[in-house]
Structure 1
Amino acid sequence: MIPLTADSLGTVQQLLSHVRQTVAPAYRAAIDSLPAPLRHIAGYHAGWWSSSGEPELGGGKTLRPALVLASASAVGGAPMSAVREAVAVELVHDFSLLHDDIMDGDATRRHRPAAWKLFGIGAAMLTGDAMQALACDLLAGHTGIKVLTTTLTRLYTGQSADLDFERRMDVSLAECMAMPAGKTGALLACACELGALAGGADSRRCALLAEFGMHLGLSFQFADDVLGIWGDPAVTGKPVYSDLARRKKSLPVVAALTSGTRFSNELTELYRRPHDSDNDNLAHLAALIDAAGGREFALHEAERQLRDALACLEAAAPSPVAAADAVALTYLITRRDH
């Protein structure tokens, strides 16, 4: 299996810088095509300017566009051949974040007020809708359009399940482990498959790289579930215990609730109560989840998905340079402070 070590980060910042230089002009051109009010919100969300329009130097990590270009390179294609696909994936990602913040009630995004808090729910939703439409328009008439539209349906299904879980106490471990395949894994799988398609890969290599992206997304999500409870707000950009305050049924929580340990009954009783913002109460919930094995289980699953991702990448037989880029991105996506 392709090794994953700290050395994998050696060139990743240079790689991401190159991706931004390659993709950013096309991404900005897409946003600039929006009507002025929607363009303003999209640019704020992207970190390009403040709420009043003053230039800023923020923005996302462009990890998904980087996966698109790396996948094209992995199958022998030129990264520039996949810029259109990279922009489409980033548009869908930003669309999903705009909507997720509204549905989850998250008031901050990337250490700034979320778009809906500044511009209103309706305006933020419409901006997200417009970005989704732009993504589909970019790939209209190309082989990747079906991959993209299928991914959108999977995103809707995953997010719907996530919201449904908040209202239920009977969420099974199998359901909890399947939901992120739509909510998170689908878009990373899409990024890798679109890149492979743009690079001219056959169906087998496209499928392997899509599977690589899916496992990578699941590994990221399960690790992120841990951060949602125990993470440093300086890393997550969200208040401490934010997932517990909303009674989210993330993997550590469901693993603890279904553990059959002496801690699970108390956790079940407390989790049935209304949402709670008291830090002492939330800290007690976190301690119960940890004692019931929820954190350990989630981290174990994150590692298992990571191993499966690297095995799929190796089976796709990328060139050594392309493999190094993909592994560097994998390290950056999955190795965060737990």
Structure 2
Amino acid sequence: MTFPATASTDHELGLGAIRRARELTEPALRDIVDRLGPSLGGVGRYHFGWWSRSSGASGKAIRPTLAVLAAEAVGAEASDAVPAAAAAELVHNFSLIHDDIIDNDELRRGQPAVWKEFGVPAAILIGDALHSEAFGALLNSGRPGAAAAAMRLSTAMREVVVGQVEDIRFTERPWTGEQAVRIAEYQSMAEAKTGALLAFSASAGALLGGADTAVADCFDRLGRHLGLAFQCTDDVLGIWGDPAKTGKPVFGDLREGKRTLPIIAALTAGGSASERLGVLVERGVRTDFELRLAAELVEEAGGREFAEREAARHLAGVDDCLASLAMPAETRACFEDLAQSLIGRSR
């Protein structure tokens, strides 16, 4: 899951934490990619947008930010979290490169995707290299807790891959009936595909900062709640978001036939709007009129309200995790501001 650049500019604490994490992490990422050699490293530099040594990397750096804040929360220096932050970014970008191949997406961050520019074999290989280097970044760091963090990364990547497989399979299932995707199934997939890597980022940052397993587990839960809250919000934006802010067409998820939370909730709600929506999506939503009608029916059946309520519930879960952890007030405020900047975007 890529976090779009839609966070409010009012959230200065969160944005400041993001800038700081990016500044700490990018040099380590550049060194890792450079070690891949001129050919494969060149593909990596292209993907990250490093056209020169002075140009900045693309992306929101949410995962490195969670790692850095978690380390600071347990009393460590921000620099102690850099191996975890770099590992999170490496595996995230590995997944993006391979996802573009799977989805046949030709663009990534406004430029041709790696597979489109260099071919599928090169894209597969740079993705594999980034995945491998992520474990090296942890295990070669010499930090206490590095081995435990690497085990968590292995678990997170298994979840991400399984979640991706389930997401693909959802598109092969009917919209309605006994074989339709259920809310619990979708939420399990979203936690794996989106929440697992955020959970790794926060828990690994804490571990490299010297935290024990119980504290790391709490940061793991925080990351999962944040991932699910984000996914619920993203699903709302995928139908009703402003294209100027999201970079996606209005009604985009309906247009693409994606099984997302508002649609699934609306289809399982019962009632006239739910039934009419089921007939419409089974037939196929194609014209602009049908797209508008489908969006109206999803909202009328309560799908939007359900997704927004779930986002709020998981955001409350983030707050509960923060309340259970001792940390400096400024760090807590950064966590809270970061979460609000990512989630408070659905209206």
The 3 A distance-change label for structure 1 pair 283 and 7 is closer
> What's the Cα RMSD here?
2.3
1:223 partnered with 2:233: yes
What SS does the corresponding residue of 1:11 show, helix, strand or coil? helix
CA distance in 2, matches of 1:119, 1:271: 37
Partner residue of 1:130?
A: 129
Q: Which residue of 2 aligns with 1:295?
A: 304
Q: Give the letter aligned to residue 314 of structure 1.
A: A
Task: Confirm or deny: 8 A CA contact 1:8 1:324 kept in the other structure.
Answer: no
Instruction: Name structure 2 gaps, 5 residues minimum.
Output: 1-7, 141-145, 175-179
Residue 86 of structure 2: aligned partner? 87
- Written as runs of structure 1 = structure 2, the 5 A alignment for 1:234-249 is 234-249=244-259
With over 3 angstroms needed to count, the CA separation of the structure-2 counterparts of 1:42 and 1:245, relative to structure 1, is farther
Q: Which runs of 4+ in 1 moved over 6 A?
A: none
Contact kept, 8 Å, 2:94 with 2:131, in 1: the verdict is yes
Post-superposition offset of 1:147: 0.5
Classify 1:73/1:58 alpha carbon distance in 2 versus 1 (closer, same or farther; 3 Å): closer
Q: Are the aligned partners of 1:64 and 1:188 in contact in 2 as well (CA < 8 Å)? A: yes
Amino acid at match of 1:331: Q
Kept in 2: contact 1:185–1:218 (CA 8 A): yes
Aligned partner of residue 171 in structure 1, secondary structure: coil
Q: What per-residue deviation string (whole Å, max 9, x for no partner) do you get for residues 52-85 of structure 1?
A: x898555111111011010001111111111111
Q: CA distance change for structure 1 residues 126 and 280 in 2, over 3 Å: closer, same or farther?
A: farther
Q: Tell me which residue corresponds to 2:339.
A: 330
Residue 157 (1) aligns with residue 162 (2): yes
Q: CA deviation at 1:130?
A: 1.7
**Counterpart selection for 1:40 from 39, 42, 63:** 42
For residues 74-223 of structure 1, the aligned pairs below 5 Å read: 74-140=73-139, 142-143=146-147, 144-169=149-174, 170-223=180-233
Provide the rounded CA distance (Å) in 2 between the counterparts of 1:129 and 1:219. Answer: 29
User: For 2:272, what is the secondary structure of its paired residue?
Assistant: coil
Report 1:60-79 matches (<5 A).
60-79=59-78
**Structure 1 residue aligned with 2:32:** 30
1:233: Cα distance to partner? 2.4
Partners in 2 of 1:270 and 1:36 — Cα distance?
Answer: 52
Q: TM-score, normalised by structure 1?
A: 0.90
Pairwise mapping of residues 309-320 of structure 1 onto structure 2 (< 5 A)?
A: 309-320=318-329
**Cα drift, residue 86 of structure 1:** 0.6
Q: Check conservation: 2:14, 2:335, Cα contact below 8 A.
A: no
Structure 2 letter corresponding to 1:321: E
- Using the TM superposition, give the Cα deviation of residue 117 of structure 1 relative to its aligned residue in structure 2, in angstroms: 3.4
Gaps in structure 1 of 5+ consecutive residues: 1-5
Q: Is the 8 A contact 2:13 2:338 kept in 1?
A: no
- Against the structure 1 CA distance between its residues 283 and 102, is the aligned structure 2 distance closer, same or farther, given a 3 Å change threshold? farther
Q: State the one-letter code of the partner of 2:306.
A: F
Give the aligned residue type for 1:146. M
**TM-score, normalising length from structure 2?**
0.88
Identity, % of aligned positions: 41
The one-letter code sitting in structure 1 at the alignment partner of 2:163 is G
Q: Report the counterpart of residue 13 of structure 1 in structure 2.
A: 15
SS at match of 1:61: coil
The equivalent residue for 1:3 is none
